[in-house]
A and B are shown apart, each in its own frame.
Chain A
Amino acid sequence: MTRLAYGDAIREGFEYAMRRDPKCFAIGQGLWSPWYVGNSMKDLDKKFGKERVIDTPVSELATTGAAVGAALNGYHPIVVHPRMDFMILAADQIVNQAAKWRHMLGGRVSPTVTIRGIVNRGGEQGAQHSQALHSWYAHVPGLRVLMPATAADARDMLIAAAQSPDPVMYIDDRWCYDLAEEVAPAADVDIRSIKPVIRREGSDLTIAAASYSVALSLAAAELLEKDGVACEVIDVRALNPFDPALIRESVERTGRFLAVDGGWSTCGFAAELVASVAEGVSPAKLKGAPARITLPDAPAPTSAPLEKAYYPTAELIAERVRQMGR
């Protein structure tokens, strides 16, 4: 076991996947810069050479399309989008192409591409440098969508994505990069094994979240423990295909459910979580209405006080749980 932080773990995921598979390569903006994507790709270009770690012109659509094309021709590219906001320019290749080719062409092609979208917000960056658009991509059949919340998952999900026969949207969050934990040596990962897990057990209320929202929820659970409230925290991990079984089982025990998500509310992933409880848990077992905490339905502001009010905090989650009763 070694201690690894999330940002470093992503880099280890790249290293493992690329060492294991000569057809795996990385491509995207900033890959030759020491700071563009934090420490998460540091020196990979030196290790693997600039032919396998490719920095690109400012051309999201062509870069992503080229990765999809290389994938259709036997390679396993990982396209890096330093911000989800800029990745929108590549949406056609992700949504219309990578996600559709297998099904639309009769199941005989595998767009084995990984698309890494980075959530990079805060710091008064504002509306076009802040977005967490995982819900959009989780809506699209054919894309597998993963969001690691821990260092081990940051590494292992990237390996799973690189080894997947399906296109994968792997979404990491810069706010998680310093989360560190002991991790076992890297190994191959079957993407189908990535399912929701319980990160903290509790009997009073179930919280489900993904990525940074898991860290927030765990911090809230800590606060609530002092008030004698025991929260169970489930890390969703795979948003698409989404398996609600564990969440339902948990809510049947606790009777209360809160979804926490770093995206917007309307048609966002938190709505999917609440729906999975509403559809799959008998009303008789619920002690109160399921609830969700998300961003307000507004673009990210820049002004310091507005930004402070914009992002959910552990205190906000704890307060909501208290209101939900025991």
Chain B
Amino acid sequence: MQFEDKLGYLADPRQLTEALDLKNASTDALVAFYRDMVLIRRTEETIAELYTAKETKTPVHLGIGQEAVAVGVSAHLNSGDRVYSGHRGHSHYLALHAPLTAILAEVMGRATGASRGMGGSMHLFAPESGFHGSVPIVGATIPIAVGAGLACKMDGKGQVAVCYFGDGACEEGVLHESLNFARVMDLPVLFVCENNLYSSHLDIHLRQPSNSVARFAEAHRIESRVIDGNDVVAVSEAAADLIEGARNGGGPGFVEAVTFRWLGHVGPNADIDVGVRRSPEELKQWKERDPVRRLTDALKEARGVDQSRFAEIDAEIETEIADALEAARGSDFPAGNVLIDYVYAGGRS
């Protein structure tokens, strides 16, 4: 197979390691992005520790390194919009400011969890915050988000649906059916592909003839943006445009955010040995494209934000996580007959 390196510098980790171009984004908004990204990273690191300490066994797919995507997209979502995700969904949940205690409690299987302890890390639900569900069947929430978009269109209130998925999900037939359907029906759906260039152990070269998945949007005449997914400003700009278009009846949009996960496919380790290609070298290079560090550098250099401001935020986040963790640890496991009671509305009768 002849492989097309369509992404070029976007997929080359030696590029784009410098401080971000902040464009005309407000300093307050950028500092808020910093806060959200650090909260996501520290929460996922905490989840990794819980797993290592055997406080949970449920499989955890961590997105450390990919925080900018969800943060940039969520900046343009309002209450009433509907977000769906897959197995690597913590960042999508947290970027909506969905409850921190509830995600930690869910990972630990507690009744106070986001899904009342019935789902674990891979099945999260916080509709009050706009997070309408994540599931680990690859591609499964893509048509569901299209259906949410259909409901938004029927409701007529300018709301949108968002679906996060990976480059691997683009290999499932359902993505293609969903893109076509969303286009034909002009549905307000933002498809956000976090293209981290891997699907578990296989890098994209071994699975697709091109490293850019936006070609699928093009095939279905859906407007797309291919961007550096580790640049929260670029993500935010792309999402703003496409979400506005969708709200105003322009139909679906597609964001291809090129990024990289720092940890293995599943679990708390870097797992550099399981990949057919993924090497310590490649990982080290990608860590130079750290979305948090690049934003921090830019805020210091271009906006004169002082280190003490970042330290203050970091400290707040540590307290927030410690409190949430304590609350989660202190809560009970699901009790009673929930195993059967949740199967049907009103129980089994």
**Contact digits for B302-338, partner A, Cβ 8 Å, 1 yes 0 no:** 0000000000000000000000000000000110001
Q: A48 within 8 Å of B by Cβ?
A: no
Cβ contacts under 8 Å, A296 to chain B: 339-340
| In the bound complex, CA of A298 to CA of B200 (Å) | 29
Cβ contacts under 8 Å, B340 to chain A: 296-298
| In the bound complex, CA of A297 to CA of B138 (Å) | 25
- The answer to whether B122 touches A126 (Cβ under 8 A) is yes
Q: B257 within 8 Å of A by Cβ?
A: no
Q: B18 within 8 Å of A by Cβ?
A: no
**Contact digits for A41-62, partner B, Cβ 8 Å, 1 yes 0 no:** 0000000000000011111111
Question: Which chain B residues (111-127) contact chain A, with CB distance < 8 Å?
Answer: 117-120, 122-123
Q: B76 within 8 Å of A by Cβ?
A: no
- The answer to whether A124 touches B200 (Cβ under 8 A) is no
Residue of A nearest to B173 (CB): A61
Cβ contacts under 8 Å, B333 to chain A: 303-306
Among the stretches A27-35, A140-148, A172-180, the one at the interface with B is A27-35
- The answer to whether B274 touches A35 (Cβ under 8 A) is yes
**Contact digits for A292-306, partner B, Cβ 8 Å, 1 yes 0 no:** 000011110111111
- The answer to whether B201 touches A36 (Cβ under 8 A) is yes
Q: B343 within 8 Å of A by Cβ?
A: yes
Q: From residue A259, how far is it (CB to closest CB) to chain B in Å?
A: 21
| In the bound complex, CA of A126 to CA of B273 (Å) | 27
Residue of A nearest to B202 (CB): A55
Q: From residue A163, how far is it (CB to closest CB) to chain B in Å?
A: 30
Residue of B nearest to A89 (CB): B172
Cβ contacts under 8 Å, B123 to chain A: 126-128, 302
Q: B136 within 8 Å of A by Cβ?
A: yes
Cβ contacts under 8 Å, B56 to chain A: 124
- The answer to whether A310 touches B339 (Cβ under 8 A) is yes
| In the bound complex, CA of A29 to CA of B59 (Å) | 19
Q: A203 within 8 Å of B by Cβ?
A: no
| In the bound complex, CA of A3 to CA of B85 (Å) | 46
Interface SS, B side: loop
Q: A85 within 8 Å of B by Cβ?
A: yes
| In the bound complex, CA of A62 to CA of B174 (Å) | 11
- The answer to whether B110 touches A303 (Cβ under 8 A) is yes
Q: From residue B170, how far is it (CB to closest CB) to chain A in Å?
A: 8
Total A-B Cβ pairs within 8 A: 116
Question: Which chain A residues (227-259) contact chain B, with CB distance < 8 Å?
Answer: none
- The answer to whether A57 touches B171 (Cβ under 8 A) is yes
- The answer to whether A32 touches B57 (Cβ under 8 A) is no
Q: From residue B21, how far is it (CB to closest CB) to chain A in Å?
A: 34
Q: From residue B257, how far is it (CB to closest CB) to chain A in Å?
A: 19
Interface SS, A side: loop
| In the bound complex, CA of A56 to CA of B208 (Å) | 10
Question: Which chain B residues (187-221) contact chain A, with CB distance < 8 Å?
Answer: 199-202, 206-208
Question: Which chain B residues (222-277) contact chain A, with CB distance < 8 Å?
Answer: 273-274, 276
- The answer to whether B334 touches A303 (Cβ under 8 A) is yes
Question: Which chain B residues (16-34) contact chain A, with CB distance < 8 Å?
Answer: none
Q: A309 within 8 Å of B by Cβ?
A: yes
| In the bound complex, CA of A153 to CA of B343 (Å) | 36
Q: B135 within 8 Å of A by Cβ?
A: yes
Q: Which of B58, B169, B274, B276 has the most CB of A within 10 A?
A: B58
Known: A58-B172, A61-B173. A303 touches B118 (CB 8 A): yes
Cβ contacts under 8 Å, B342 to chain A: 298
Q: B133 within 8 Å of A by Cβ?
A: no
| In the bound complex, CA of A305 to CA of B110 (Å) | 10
Q: B53 within 8 Å of A by Cβ?
A: no
- The answer to whether A302 touches B200 (Cβ under 8 A) is no
| In the bound complex, CA of A56 to CA of B202 (Å) | 9
Cβ contacts under 8 Å, A86 to chain B: 137-138
Cβ contacts under 8 Å, A124 to chain B: 56-59, 109, 120
- The answer to whether B339 touches A301 (Cβ under 8 A) is yes
| In the bound complex, CA of A304 to CA of B334 (Å) | 10
Report which of B57, B119, B135, B276 forms a contact with A304, defined as CB distance below 8 A.
B57
Residue of A nearest to B335 (CB): A305
**Contact digits for B161-179, partner A, Cβ 8 Å, 1 yes 0 no:** 0000000110111000000
Known: A55-B202, A129-B136. A309 touches B120 (CB 8 A): no
Q: A38 within 8 Å of B by Cβ?
A: no
| In the bound complex, CA of A60 to CA of B174 (Å) | 11
Residue of A nearest to B273 (CB): A34
| In the bound complex, CA of A23 to CA of B136 (Å) | 35
Cβ contacts under 8 Å, B276 to chain A: 32-33, 55
- The answer to whether A30 touches B200 (Cβ under 8 A) is yes
- The answer to whether B201 touches A32 (Cβ under 8 A) is yes
Cβ contacts under 8 Å, B119 to chain A: 126-127, 302
- The answer to whether B57 touches A36 (Cβ under 8 A) is no
**Contact digits for A99-138, partner B, Cβ 8 Å, 1 yes 0 no:** 0000000000000000000000001111111000000000
Cβ contacts under 8 Å, A60 to chain B: 172
Report which of B117, B135, B201 forms a contact with A30, defined as CB distance below 8 A.
B201
Report which of A34, A58, A61, A298 forms a contact with B169, defined as CB distance below 8 A.
A58
Shortest Cβ-Cβ A-B pairs, 4 listed: A303-B109, A302-B120, A57-B171, A124-B58
Q: A29-B200, A58-B172 given. 20 additional CB < 8 A pairs?
A: A32-B202, A34-B274, A57-B168, A57-B171, A57-B199, A58-B138, A61-B173, A86-B138, A124-B57, A124-B120, A125-B122, A126-B118, A297-B340, A298-B340, A302-B118, A302-B123, A303-B110, A303-B333, A304-B333, A305-B333
Interface residues of B (CB under 8 A from A): 56-59, 109-110, 117-120, 122-123, 135-139, 168-169, 171-173, 199-202, 206-208, 273-274, 276, 333-334, 338-340, 342-343, 348
Interface residues of A (CB under 8 A from B): 29-30, 32-36, 55-62, 85-86, 89, 123-129, 296-299, 301-306, 309-310
- 27 A-B pairs, CB-CB below 8 angstroms? A32-B201, A33-B201, A35-B274, A55-B202, A57-B171, A58-B168, A58-B169, A59-B172, A86-B137, A86-B138, A89-B137, A89-B172, A123-B59, A126-B120, A128-B122, A128-B136, A129-B59, A296-B340, A298-B342, A301-B339, A302-B123, A303-B110, A303-B334, A304-B333, A305-B333, A306-B118, A306-B339
